[in-house]
Amino acid sequence: MCRPKTQDPRPKTQDPRPKVLTLKSPAKINWFLEVMGKRPDGYHELVTVMQTVSLYDTLDFEDLPRPFIEFRCDLDLGPPEKNLVVRAAQAVQKTYAEKRGARITLNKKIPHGAGLGGGSSDAATTVVGLNQLWNLNLSTEQLEQVVRSVGSDCAFFVRGGTALCTGRGEIVEPKPLISGIDLVILYPEIVLPTPDVYRKLSENLQFERRKCNFFHRDALSLDATKVATKVFNRLEHVALRVSPKLSDVWQRTADEKAVTKRFVSGSGSSLVFVVPDESAARALAQSFEKRSLGRAFVAKSVAGR
């Protein structure tokens, strides 16, 4: 005998699992970097072309039922209160979401102290992630404003892609994307503190400033060969003087035939090699690692978020 189905009178419970959001956090290189002088606030006035590349950290965001920021990382990055992720999360919380909390887990792949902007990118990804996790509906401009308080180049990473950055690096002007350039990024296991490089540069600021010509008529058709003619980094020779070990690696990579251009990214210590294609990139990266020159990453210039 078939009995009619009856509705379960017990109330349905909500899924107890926390809401989790995972975002990638890209590294950057500097296609161009010129120092225009020293500012009254002690920082340096910059003109730089920043570019996101396909080398990523990963951040996981989970809601917490209390207004507390819990931070975890697979590497020891020092005291949490000094970490840019924690500072960025606290800035969002204080300004827009005092009653919200989150657990943030950072999985590092971008080397620290390498001129690749890993910490700044993680801070920007944090404000983007919490905006989504907490349904704050903040605009890009609002996110940039919040993260500017954390670091000079953090605002760039809110959008990513290709941008002309001025001031201390916090004034961001998006530009036509320079995408698909094949790269090898060599991290020679050297931590090169940015203040040390700028302090050395400040000993002599009497030099002729280089003009940036990245965004003329050919901006939308730049390939590896054209990019090579435009790359410039004022900090390159300074970084090589500050670190004899980096200078040694620079000398040992001088005669790579497949390389269209090599340069120091930002204040170092990573070296960037522009190559014709992905096959050449993989071969070059393998060669660097076999010669124990450091950790080599195959990457491309990519769009932002």
Which residues are known to be catalytic? 28, 153
- Separation CA 67–CA 175 (nearest Å): 38
- Separation CA 52–CA 56 (nearest Å): 10
Q: Which amino acid is at 141?
A: E
Residues 6 or more apart in contact with residue 161 via CB below 8 angstroms: 51, 52, 174, 175, 177, 302, 303, 304
- Separation CA 190–CA 294 (nearest Å): 9
Residues 6 or more apart in contact with residue 103 via CB below 8 angstroms: 18, 60, 61, 62, 64, 70, 71, 72
Write phi, then psi, for 218 (nearest 5 degrees).
-90, 15
Residues 6 or more apart in contact with residue 194 via CB below 8 angstroms: 115, 266, 267
- Separation CA 273–CA 256 (nearest Å): 10
The SS3 assignment for 262 reads: strand
Phi-psi sector, 260: left (phi>0), alpha (psi -120 to 50), beta? alpha
Structure tokens at 142: 């609002």
